[in-house]
Chains A and B, each alone.
Chain A
Amino acid sequence: SAVISQKPSRDICQRGTSLTIQCQVDSQVTMMFWYRQQPGQSLTLIATANQGSEATYESGFVIDKFPISRPNLTFSTLTVSNMSPEDSSIYLCSATRGGRQPQHFGDGTRLSIL
């Protein structure tokens, strides 16, 4: 299974600033995803990070607010832009190889906006 390192693990940010979260996988994967999760709740998919092309965003999420990069098959970043208190959440990175493989997850980033 893939090992996923995500950082930072937590941060407290000021309103109006931006934060970039990094996700590093220890081996090449076909798909990488970014989720948002409120404590005790299920996961909400933000976008699928596509290697070498623009990410595929889910309804309610836009590139200007959540720009995503994926320069290669093992690394992706999610930026939370112009943050507001409503963006306070846990952000999870995950990755999978193709076919029948499950997703594997990073430890998550707990983000609080003051």
Chain B
Amino acid sequence: AQTVTQSQPEMSVQEAETVTLSCTYDTSESDYYLFWYKQPPSRQMILVIRQEAYKQQNATENRFSVNFQKAAKSFSLKISDSQLGDAAMYFCAYRRGNQFYFGTGTSLTVIP
């Protein structure tokens, strides 16, 4: 069974600093997709970044980047130059075919 683990229920970061959120997953597959979602207090889940397992290059979207370690089944999210608007719950997700699995989330606080 595929599972997604986020071991940090809560994290905090000073504004303008960098923070890394951890995610590990369990799979026996070689072809799959990984995502990070952000859910601010307004509730809507927003896609932050995605990574295809067959790509070795780490995905980057502006201040957001991932460290994808396929052998270690690790998919961490790095947020650079943190902003107050980055405060939210962050969910890691795995997709294989029609199956999606979400982690338990990390609540990120940004300290002014």
State the A residues within 8 Å of B (CB). Answer: 1, 31, 33, 40-43, 45, 48, 90, 92, 94, 96, 100, 102-108, 110
14 new A-B contacts at CB < 8 Å, known A102-B95, A107-B42:
A40-B107, A42-B91, A42-B104, A45-B100, A48-B98, A94-B45, A96-B100, A102-B93, A103-B45, A103-B93, A105-B45, A105-B46, A107-B44, A108-B43
Nearest A-chain residue to B49, judged by Cβ: A102
Query: 16 A-B residue contacts at CB 8 Å?
Result: A1-B47, A41-B104, A42-B91, A42-B102, A43-B102, A96-B100, A100-B52, A100-B95, A102-B47, A103-B35, A104-B47, A105-B37, A105-B46, A107-B44, A108-B43, A110-B43
Contact B107 A42 (CB under 8 A): no
State the B residues within 8 Å of A (CB). Answer: 33, 35, 37, 42-47, 50, 52, 89, 91, 93, 95, 98, 100, 102-105, 107
A32, chain B: closest CB distance, angstroms? 12
Which of A42, A102, A104, A105 has the most C-beta atoms of chain B within 10 angstroms of its own C-beta?
Answer: A102
A41, chain B: closest CB distance, angstroms? 7
A98, chain B: closest CB distance, angstroms? 8
Nearest B-chain residue to A100, judged by Cβ: B33
B18, chain A: closest CB distance, angstroms? 24
Measured CA separation A33–B45 after assembly (Å) = 14
Contact B50 A102 (CB under 8 A): yes
Measured CA separation A92–B89 after assembly (Å) = 15
Known contacts A40-B89, A100-B33, A102-B95; is A107 also within 8 Å of B43 by CB? yes
Contact B43 A90 (CB under 8 A): yes
Nearest A-chain residue to B47, judged by Cβ: A102
Nearest B-chain residue to A103, judged by Cβ: B100
Measured CA separation A96–B45 after assembly (Å) = 13
Nearest A-chain residue to B45, judged by Cβ: A105
Nearest B-chain residue to A107, judged by Cβ: B44
Nearest B-chain residue to A43, judged by Cβ: B102
Contact B44 A105 (CB under 8 A): yes
Measured CA separation A102–B47 after assembly (Å) = 8
CB-CB under 8 A from B44, the residues of chain A are 105-108
